[in-house]
Structure 1
Amino acid sequence: TDYVFDGKRPVPRPYCEDDPTNPLSAYGLSKLAGEQAIVESMDNYCILRTAWLYGMGGGNFLKTILRLALARPERGLKIVNDQFGSLTWTARLAEQIEVLVDSGETGIMHATAEGFSSWFEGADFFLQALDVDADLTPCASSEYPTPAHRPANSILENKRLKEAGLNRMVHWQRDVQAFVDQNRQLLLDEALAGKV
């Protein structure tokens, strides 16, 4: 998870696998403790850090934004515009994991989509891809409190995957568009039924 880093690095500078960790929340601390326990107890391991996941299974940021945009179009939506990361499609990540497992590579790896956006930019692109007209307003993180403090910079670089010639991740916009193209009607039906 990106939460093992403090997110204080200036955007657009990403975090690589060998960068120092410094979690800001209990959630991040627990993830780092899990990583450390694996590293200390195993010789051959593969830890995969990812972030900003979306897909058809379960709830996620994009599906929630769609549901809210369709449920109350007159109210508009405020979306955080000062946190940055890479929206990562679970279908693409599954393909990446398969490649990684087949390779036998070990160690800590990052696997997120290429490029980055703010939550606002990601939501705007997604809704436009769906042809959903929504009144989105960018806001600061301070206007949208969350139980766990989120890093401002969650951009992870897939450095080790690239060095090993194993990176299968693509630009986040390409995958969001493919996600919409493959699931448009199902996404709209779920959101209108309030199932997200």
Structure 2
Amino acid sequence: MSKILVFGASGQLGSCLKKVAAERNISRMVFPEESSANILDLDSLKSLFEEVRPSHVINCAAYTAVDRAEDDVETARKVNKDGAANLASFCDAYGSVLVHISTDFVFKGDIPKLLSEDDLAEPVSVYGLTKLEGEQDIERLIKSFFIIRTSWLYSEFGNNFVKTMQRLGRERDVLNVIVDQVGTPTYAIDLAAAVLDIIESGSEAYGIYHFSNEGAVSWYDFAEAIFEISNIDVKLNPIPTSEYVTRAQRPPFSVMSKAKIKNVFGIKISHWKKSLEACIERLAETT
């Protein structure tokens, strides 16, 4: 049976792919250790592709430290651009379909409108720029690819906004959270399910797609929902971006249209709050 090879298997989305694959009894997925699946090590990649001969490759590996990337441009570019290009080249050579995870940070986000796959990508951070460069290399090097842009990823795995808010909400009496950046939270379990739906469809409708949960919300409103569902009592203050200065600039409005992925693959997408409730319920079961 043809194999699905996952890079970044130990990260948040990789862990969610493992969970969804187990629930669906998909046994053909290969989750190698990072030591043997370094997307910058051409010899390791050659050995892995020779051994697995994958029909599909899912790239969850990325440099995602948005603020650190501003001062570590070389590393961010190596991982997000060169690593993506390496995988595209190997997928092309071995006849594999590449499923690559990208980000809403490829957009400037200065206009409050739903962002489509055809809208101008104009990143305002090194992270967003290097992710866009990775997309462009994939498009240049291979025809059989799905690039899936997502946003505000969280889950019961890894470090993310939901788990950070729960921890801070229990430790502090007052929290300040940004109110003038608007986007859509994405439960990584839902994204993992969508990725596997696309692969299992056998579709050749290659290209760029957007996936997040439905709806739009500010970081402040997202935090308020986390505390409400988690039954955490903390005073929450809404603050503007200008009062919380970060090294990297963020797109102020990055709500993406999911019309294309829904129309092409028939994928049903949950509202962000419904998925947040499911995640927090699962988090409560593990504590």
User: Is the structural similarity TM-score above 0.5?
Assistant: yes
Does 2:142 align with 1:42? yes
Query: Which of residues 158, 168, 174 is equivalent to 2:268?
Result: 168
CA distances 1:85-105 after superposition (whole Å, capped 9, x unpaired): 111101111111111112223
What is the aligned counterpart of 1:87 among 185, 195, 208?
A: 185
Mapped partners of 1:5, 1:23: distance in 2: 5
Partner of 1:54: 154
**Which residues in structure 2 correspond to 1:175-186 (within 5 Å)?**
175-186=275-286
- Any residues of structure 2 matched to 1:95-114 within 5 Å, and which? 95-103=193-201, 104=203, 105-114=205-214
Higher relative contact order (CA 8 A, sep 6+): 1
Q: Deviations over 1:95-146 (max 9, x none)?
A: 1111111222310000100001000001101110011111100000111122
Give the Cα separation in 1 of the matches to 2:282 and 2:105. 30
Query: Does structure 1 conserve the Cα–Cα contact (< 8 Å) formed by 2:182 and 2:252?
Result: yes
Instruction: Give 1 or 2 for the bigger CA radius of gyration.
Output: 2
% same residue: 36
Quote how far apart the aligned CAs of 1:169 are: 2.0
CA distance in 2, matches of 1:53, 1:19: 22
Indicate the SS of the match to 2:238: strand
Deviation for aligned residue 1:26: 1.1
Q: Following TM superposition, by how much is the alpha carbon of 1:63 offset from its aligned partner in structure 2, in angstroms?
A: 0.8
Structure 1 residues 132-164: Cα deviation after superposition (integer angstroms, max 9, x where no partner): 111100000111122221100011111211221
Any conservation in 1 of the 2:107–2:121 contact (CA below 8 Å)?
A: yes
Query: 1:185: how far off?
Result: 4.5
Q: Provide the aligned length of Structure 1 versus Structure 2.
A: 183
Structure 1 SS opposite 2:177: strand
1:8 to 89, 93, 110: 110
Deviation at 1:173, TM superposition (A): 0.6
Letter in 2 for 1:5: F
Comparing 95-104 and 163-172, the one that deviates more: 163-172
Letter in 2 for 1:81: V
C-alpha distance in 2 between matches for 1:23 and 1:171: 26
Aligned counterparts of 1:67 and 1:183: Cα–Cα separation in 2: 12
Cα distance in 2 for residues equivalent to 1:166 and 1:47: 17
Q: CA deviation at 1:184?
A: 1.8
TM-score, normalisation: structure 1: 0.89
Gaps of at least 5 residues in structure 2 are: 1-102
Question: Secondary structure of the residue that 1:70 maps to in structure 2?
Answer: helix
Bigger Cα displacement from structure 2, 45-54 vs 143-152: 143-152
1:119 paired to 2:224: no
Matches within 5 A, 1:143-158: 143-158=243-258
Q: Aligned partners of 1:173, 1:34: CA distance in 2, in Å?
A: 31
Of 104-113 and 159-168, more deviation after overlay is shown by 159-168
| Equivalent residues of 1:100, 1:166 under 8 A apart | no
User: How far did 1:27 drift?
Assistant: 1.0
| Contact 1:2 1:154 (C-alpha < 8 Å) held by counterparts | yes
1:107 and 1:154 map into 2 onto residues whose CA distance is 20
Query: What is the RMSD computed on CA atoms of the aligned residues?
Result: 1.2
Q: Contact 2:143/2:206 (CA < 8 Å) preserved in 1?
A: no
Query: Counterpart of 1:51 in structure 2: which amino acid?
Result: S
Task: Quote the Cα distance in structure 1 between the aligned partners of 2:269 and 2:247.
Answer: 30
